[in-house]
Amino acid sequence: MGTSRGHSPARRTAAALAPAAAVAAAHILPAATWLPAVRRRFPRLAGEGHPGHVALTFDDGPDPESTPRFLDALEVLGVRATFFVLGDSVVRHPSVVRETARRGHELAVHGWSHDRPWLPGPAEDARALLRAAGAVRELTGRAPRWYRPPYGILTSGRWAAARTAGLRPVLWTTWGRDWTADATPASVRSAVAAGLRGGGTVLLHDTDRMSAPGCWRAALGALPGIVRTCHGAGLSVGPLADHGVRGRPA
């Protein structure tokens, strides 16, 4: 009985697909750092800093309706924060960005738009981050130091893009789950408190651009209680710049 020469069509197809599968895996596997159990293994990436300090951060702005309300609330509380902004909103609302910087807050990069990077696109990732960082620098006169990818999905391409743009990726150690339609100030405070500790980084949102309409009010209402809880525990609250985390690309 003779043997066929060469590989079967199925084996040839599998061999042809293997390189593409490897590229896809290398692209998306770093995004596992979104998971709390994985993120805890990378404390610098999670934003762990000085044990006596809590970094307060906001994502998805600027928003001309809601962001100024957060700026006013933070001024009353005597607290500064880091705002991770989207480049396409920065160019639409430059006055909000300038006012945020004028009040002493730190501007960081959340990307150009709030998209999910399921397919590899390293060149486009680099262009988008450079464009967003340039927009922030042009309006504030300062080069941003930090980068938090949308949804916390940090692919290998976005790692490389952050390095190209001179940005350090930073995620979070606790969040308020303030993007849902049923979020309340009490639920946001409770969610933050569940993971709050000295040296941690808190994630909230100063806009509902990518969330349930009006949900930013829950975060705004929770803000005084979160700050009081930190101060009551002897922890200072401020931006990542004061957090003791080195601002260089990981």
What is the CB neighbour count within 10 angstroms for residue 104?
Answer: 14
Residue 120 contacts residue 23 (beta carbons within 8 Å): yes
Amino acid at the residue 8: S
Nearest to 215 by CA among 194, 173, 187, 247: 187
Query: Which residues touch 81 (CB under 8 Å, ≥6 apart)?
Result: 56, 57, 58, 74, 105, 106, 238, 239
Domain of 219? 31-35+45-242
Give, for 201, the enclosing helix (H) or strand (E). strand 201-205
Which pLDDT value is given to residue 118? 57
Residue 9 lies in a domain: no
How many domains does the chain contain in total? 1
114 catalytic per annotation: no
Phi and psi of 31, rounded to 5°? Answer: -65, -10
- What is the model's pLDDT at position 112? 94
Express each pLDDT in 86-136 by its tens digit.
999 999 999 999 999 999 999 999 999 987 665 656 788 899 999 999 999
Cα 17 to Cα 56, 137, 155, 156, distances in angstroms: 44, 42, 21, 20
Confidence at residue 138, expressed as pLDDT on a 0 to 100 scale = 97
For position 6, what pLDDT does the model report? 53
| Separation CA 216–CA 206 (nearest Å) | 6
23 lies in some domain: no
Q: Which parts of the chain sit beneath pLDDT 70?
A: 1-39, 116-121, 246-250
Q: What is the 3-state secondary structure (H, E, C) of 89-114?
A: HHHHCHHHHHHHHHCCCEEEECCCCC
Which pLDDT score is estimated for 247?
Answer: 47
DSSP state for residue 233 in the 8-state scheme: T
Say how far apart CA 6 and CA 15 lie, in whole Å: 13
Assess whether 178 carries a catalytic annotation.
no
- Please name the helix (run of DSSP H) or strand (run of DSSP E) that holds residue 61, with its range, or none: strand 53-61
Position 75 scores a pLDDT of 98
pLDDT score recorded for residue 117: 64
Q: Residue 212 and residue 234: Cα distance in Å, rounded? A: 34
C-alpha span between 242 and 145 (Å, rounded):
12
- Residue 20 in domain: no
What is the pLDDT at residue 33? 62
The pLDDT assigned to 77 comes to 98
Domain presence at residue 78: yes
Q: How far is CA 229 from CA 26, 136, 232, in A?
A: 41, 32, 5
> What is residue 9's predicted lDDT score, i.e. its pLDDT?
56
For residue 113, which amino acid is it? Answer: S
**For residue 107, what are the β-bridge partners?**
83
Q: What is the pTM of this model?
A: 0.85
CATH for 172:
3.20.20.370
Write down the pLDDT at residue 18: 41
Query: What is the pLDDT, as a whole number, of residue 19?
Result: 45
Catalytic member of 60, 205, 206, 208: 205
Instruction: Answer whether residue 159 is part of any domain.
Output: yes
111 domain residue, yes or no: yes
Is residue 7 situated within a structural domain? no
Calculate the CA 48 to chain-centre distance: 14
Domain assignment present for residue 140? The answer is yes
Half-sphere exposure of 120 (CA within 13 A, CB side): 15
Position 42 scores a pLDDT of: 77
